[in-house]
Structure 1
Amino acid sequence: MTLAASAFAQLAAWPDLTEVEPSCGIGRALGSAHGEIAHFHSDRVLDLRLTARAIRKFEEHLTGAGSVRLVPGSPWVTLRLDVVADVDVLMTLVSLALQVQQAWPVAGEGPRTACNDHRGTVFPDVFGGG
C-alpha cells in the first residue's frame, strides 16, 4: 500500500471527514461539512485546503517543511508523500484545516476554489521531478 493510500484510509476513518467527488475531477477527495479538504491526485501528491488566512498565519512553518509547496494566491497547499514523516505532516495539516474551516470561514474561499493541480504545481528536483 502506498503512503498516500494509507493516509487516505486513515483520514477517511476520521468522523469529520467523508469521501467526496473531487471538484477538479482528478483522483480521490475528502471533505467536511465545510467543504473539500484534500485531493489525492496521485500515489505521492495531494492538495490540502487550509484557507489563505491559515496559510499566511503558518507560512513560515509551511515553507520550512520540505514536503509542502505553496502556490501564491491559493488557499490550497500541495504535499508530496515520500516518507512516513510526510504523512505525519499531512495528519497535522488536515487537523489544522478542519479547525480553521470551522473557526475562520472566509467568503470567497468556498469548497469550489480550484485546487493547485490546475495551477501546474511542480516540486523541486530534490523530489525527483514533478
Structure 2
Amino acid sequence: MNLAEHANARLSDWPALSRGRACCGARDCLCAGAQEIVHFHGDNEVDVHLTHAMIDRLRPALRNSSALKVSAASGWITVRLEAGSDIDLLATLVSAALLATGSQQGATESARTDPCTRCSSPASRRQPTRWSRRAFGRCRT
C-alpha cells in the first residue's frame, strides 16, 4: 500500500468525511457534506481545500514545509507524501479545511469558482471547458 492509500484509508474513517467523485477527475475524493475537501492525485500527491482565508491565516507555517505547494491563486494546497509524517501533516490540514469550510458562509459556492490545483494548472487554463461547466463543490458518490 502506498502513502496515498494509507492516507485515504485513515481519512475515510473520519465521520465528517465521505467518499465522492472529484470534479477534476481525481481517482479518490473525500467530502464534507457537498463540499470537496480532499483529492488524491496519484501515489504521492493530495490536494486539500483549505480556502483562501485559512491559507492566509496559516501561511507562515505553511511556508516552512517542503512537503507543501501553496498557490496564491487557489484555496487548494498540494501535499506531497514522501514519509509517514506527511500523512500526519495531511490530517492536520484536513482538520483545518473542515474548520474553514464549516465556518465559511457559502463554502460550496466558493468551491465552484475555486477548482483544485489540477484544474488550476496552465494546461487546464488552455482548455477551460475541461472544468468550467462542472459544478464544483458538489460531491457525488
TM-score bucket (shorter structure): 0.7 to 0.9
**Cα 1:12–1:112, aligned 2, differ >3 Å: closer, same or farther?**
farther
% identity of equivalent residues: 32
How far is 1:119 from its partner? 3.0
How far is 1:48 from its partner? 0.4
Matches within 5 A, 1:1-130: 1-106=1-106, 108-110=109-111, 113-120=114-121
> What is the CA deviation profile of residues 44-97 of structure 1, one whole-angstrom value per residue up to 9, with x for unaligned ones?
001100000000010011111110101111000011000011111000000110
**Cα 1:109–1:35, aligned 2, differ >3 Å: closer, same or farther?**
same
Q: Which has the higher contact order (CA 8 A, sep 6+)?
A: 2
| Runs (4+) off by over 2 Å | 104-108, 110-113, 118-121
Q: TM-score, normalised by structure 2?
A: 0.80
SS in 1 for 2:9: helix
Name the Cα RMSD after superposition: 1.7
How far is 1:120 from its partner? 3.4
How far is 1:106 from its partner? 4.8
C-alpha distance in structure 1 between counterparts of 2:44 and 2:113, whole Å: 23
C-alpha distance in structure 2 between counterparts of 1:3 and 1:78, whole Å: 14
- 1:45–1:81: 8 Å Cα contact kept in structure 2? yes
Q: Which amino acid aligns with 2:10?
A: Q
C-alpha distance in structure 2 between counterparts of 1:112 and 1:36, whole Å: 12
Q: TM-score, normalised by structure 1?
A: 0.86
C-alpha distance in structure 1 between counterparts of 2:105 and 2:12, whole Å: 23
- 1:35–1:110: 8 Å Cα contact kept in structure 2? yes
How far is 1:111 from its partner? 5.1
SS in 2 for 1:118: coil
**Cα 1:28–1:112, aligned 2, differ >3 Å: closer, same or farther?**
farther
- Give structure 2 stretches of 5+ with no counterpart: 123-141
